Structure 1
Amino acid sequence: MKNDIKLIDYLASRRSVPAFQMCEPGPDRAELEAILTLAIRVPDHGKLAPWRFVVYQGEERRIIGEELLRLALEKNPELSEEMIAVERSRFTRAPVVVGVISKAAPHTKIPEWEQIMSAGAVCLNLLMAANAHGYVSNWLSEWFAFDDRAHDLLGVAPDEKVAGFIHIGSTTFPITERPRPNLDDIVSWRGAES
């Protein structure tokens, strides 16, 4: 993706690439910092920054994959060889994985729901910022985002939740379109027609 593409053209063609279709190269430290700097430019009522990032890269991704496999086998010792390979590769499919961690909590003025939506906005901005830097990306959550046994391994505190794992890398696969909802099925018009 070129950096000079017009925003409207980008939005008309924005597409996630499956993590298993990603490869090297991924962004380096300077690019990641630039991507994260763009990602935090989201609506944030009360300026709480009710989210944070954990960047997983290098050998750490393989170590996490082995631990996630161990946890998966504890739950289901009868995993197929195919599923063992899937569990082992959860964090090695893309060169970089960024965990977006929601710190949403009760607040006297800012509803917790708004804080959660702000974390979702960070996830989407992170996808778009990675694309703007010439990388492909995908927002996943997967079972371990909701399994407290994995949270310490992933750097998630007991009072936090995972908003998503953003996989960032390159691809050699063609980027294809998928079906989108028909506006007639999802839009209700109220008031005068313009």
Structure 2
Amino acid sequence: MKFNDRTSPLTLLATRRSGRPREMTAPGPDEAELRAMIALAARTPDHGKLAPWRFVIVPPDARDALSAMLTDAYRAEKPEAGRLEIEAMDNFARMAPALVVVLHSPKPSHIPAWEQELSTGAATMNLLHAVHAHGYVGGWLTGWASTSDRVRDAFGAAHERIAGFVFIGTAAKPLEERPRPLIDDIASIWHG
């Protein structure tokens, strides 16, 4: 494990940025590092200890198969698709050195579905924090592939949903800071 030990936990939180997967390059994490990141991601709030999320690692040698599956699913759902759209599916499958598909996998329980969805989002965010702590950059993408039942079926079951595709690698150029909301616009004090 190569934790970025040059910074404090607060600095890690303050410096995490999302990277554009198409701009990520090698090196990326190996399988052991990915498993360590997932172990950290699983340390998320989880009312009822249900683990309503799953992580599917797509190894580099499966990227051709991912491209074929995405292309076939896209063509089946959008038969009028043009060459550029199909190329976009292939490009999506090949971005960044590493890829983890996060699935929302709700469990039958008295725990409300909404809480399970929140836990999945928190687990995905924890994965991004773990990626940063290991010295890599991550990008969480959704889009058409995350809403396609055909794509979902390639990774999971009918009751699951794709929460996102987390691409991981090394930033090819410095990450840009995006505008953040002003604290006074998003936080208030309730006085009763």
Q: TM-score, normalised by structure 1?
A: 0.89
Q: Supply the distance in 2 between the matched residues of 1:95 and 1:3 (Cα, whole angstroms).
A: 23
For residue 133 of structure 2, what is the aligned residue in structure 1? 132
Q: Give the 4+ runs in structure 1 shifted more than 4 A.
A: none
Question: What is the SS of the residue equivalent to 2:92?
Answer: coil
Q: Name the SS of the counterpart of 1:91 in structure 2.
A: helix
Give 1:124 deviation, angstroms. 0.4
The answer to whether the 8 Å contact 1:54/1:98 transfers is yes
Q: For this pair of structures, how many residues does the alignment match? A: 190
CA offsets, 1:149-170, max 9 Å, x none?
22222x2101111111111111
Task: Look up the equivalent residue of 1:182 and give its one-letter code.
Answer: L
Structure 2 residue aligned with 1:100: 102
Following superposition, the deviation at residue 40 of structure 1 comes to: 0.6
Q: Is the 8 A contact 2:56 2:100 kept in 1?
A: yes
Show the counterpart of 2:157: 157
% of aligned pairs identical?
A: 42
Matched residue type, 2:142: S
Residue 187 (structure 1) aligned with residue 187 (structure 2): yes
Paired AA for residue 66 in structure 2? I
Superposition deviation, residue 188 in structure 1:
3.2
Letter aligned with residue 161 of structure 2: K
Counterpart-to-counterpart distance in 2, 1:3 and 1:78: 51
Structure 1 residue 96, shift from structure 2 partner: 1.3
* 1:1-194 matched pairs, under 5 angstroms: 2-108=4-110, 110-153=111-154, 155-191=155-191
Q: What is the distance in 2 between the residues matched to 1:179 and 1:142? A: 22
Q: CA separation in 1, counterparts of 2:112 and 2:77?
A: 35
CA RMSD of aligned residues (A): 1.9
**Residues 4 and 133 in structure 2, CA contact (< 8 A), matched pair in contact too:** yes
Q: Measure, in 1, the Cα distance between the counterparts of 2:84 and 2:61.
A: 22
CA displacement 1:61-113 (0-9 Å, x = unmatched):
221112212222334445444333221121210111111111114422x1111
- Following superposition, the deviation at residue 3 of structure 1 comes to 2.7
Secondary structure at the residue paired with 1:90? helix
Residues 12, 133 of structure 2: 8 Å contact kept: no
Quick one: which amino acid aligns to residue 48 of structure 2? Answer: G
- 1:3 & 1:77 partners in 2: Cα distance? 50
1:33-68 Cα deviation digits (max 9, x unpaired): 211111111101111111111110122122111221
- Counterparts of 2:82 and 2:180, CA distance in 1: 33
Residues in 1 aligned to 2:108 and 2:42: alpha-carbon distance in whole angstroms: 21
CA distance in 2, matches of 1:93, 1:3: 27
TM-score (norm 2): 0.90
Task: Give the unaligned 5+ runs of structure 2.
Answer: none
In the aligned structure 2, how far is the partner of 1:75 from the partner of 1:33? 33
